[in-house]
Structure 1
Amino acid sequence: MAIRVFHRDHPTLRLSFISKDARFVIWPGTGAWTANLNYVVLEPGEANVPHIHTISEDTIFILEGSGTAHDYTNDIHLPFHAGCAVHVPIGVKHAIAADRGVEVVSVGGPAPADVPLLKKVGALPPDSEPPSR
């Protein structure tokens, strides 16, 4: 496989439980199984549906705005702003919220790809597996 270039305005998957504008730019659907890159815009007042990545760490870099990272597993709610990175360990129920009156724009995603979650929401067929290396 060779190097490829992707653009946020041409995603191959959108998932509304992340936000109204959650663009999966690099993910297993594009052949990337060990890294993901999502471009997400949360409108003021919008938040992800709380979710858990059972096999992946989630890292979210905040490009614009400010909000709150909610860790429901540990009952922790941390403020963030542009320039911050939010890191979510495997198995932590979490959500990102644009709850400070401004839009939040971020990039990042779970690594490795959260194949069980993608199968659960119908983004990948039930028999999808990473290629053998």
Structure 2
Amino acid sequence: MAIRVFHRDHPSLRLPLISKDARFVVWPGVGAWNANMNYVRLEPGEANVPHVHVASEDTIFILEGQGTICDYTNDTEIPFHAGCIVHVPVGLRHAVKADRGVGIVSVGGPAPADVALLKAVNALPADAEPGR
């Protein structure tokens, strides 16, 4: 496999579970099983659907805006702003909220890829696995 360059404006998957504008740029659909990079814009007042990555850590770098990361497993909410990195350990039910009057732009994603979630939303075929 060779080095490749991707652009946020040419994603191969959009996932409304994350936001109206969630662009999966580097993910298993392009052969990246261990590292993912998503570009996400949340409009003011928008939030992810609460979800869990059962075998992945989620790391999100906040480029613009401010909001709240909700940890539903531990019943906590933590504010963040541009320049912060949000890290969600494996197995925590969470959601990102643009609940502080402005939108959010972020990059990041679960690593390794959350194959179970991608299969559940029909973004990958049921028999998808690395090397296939």
Fold-level similarity (TM above 0.5) = yes
Q: Secondary structure at the match of 2:118?
A: helix
The yes-or-no answer on 1:35 pairing with 2:39 is no
CA-CA distance at 1:79 after TM superposition: 0.1
**Distance across 1 between alignment mates of 2:52 and 2:106:** 18
- Matched with 1:60 is 60
Aligned Cα root-mean-square deviation (Å): 0.8
Q: Mind listing any 5+ residue stretches in structure 1 that lack a counterpart?
A: none
Q: What do the CA deviations read for 1:14-43 (whole angstroms, capped 9, x no partner)?
A: 000100000000000000000000000000
- Matched with 2:17 is 17
Q: Mind listing any 5+ residue stretches in structure 2 that lack a counterpart?
A: none
Q: Which runs of 4+ in 1 moved over 2 A?
A: none
**Distance across 1 between alignment mates of 2:66 and 2:76:** 17
**Distance across 1 between alignment mates of 2:30 and 2:129:** 13
Q: TM-score, normalised by structure 2?
A: 0.99
| % identical aligned pairs | 76
- Matched with 1:113 is 113
**Distance across 2 between alignment mates of 1:104 and 1:127:** 34
Q: TM-score, normalised by structure 1?
A: 0.98
Name the amino acid aligned to 1:53: H
**Distance across 2 between alignment mates of 1:121 and 1:13:** 11
**Distance across 1 between alignment mates of 2:125 and 2:17:** 18
Name the amino acid aligned to 1:107: V
Name the amino acid aligned to 1:129: E
Q: Secondary structure at the match of 2:80?
A: strand
Q: Secondary structure at the match of 2:117?
A: helix
CA-CA distance at 1:2 after TM superposition: 0.4
Q: Secondary structure at the match of 2:101?
A: coil
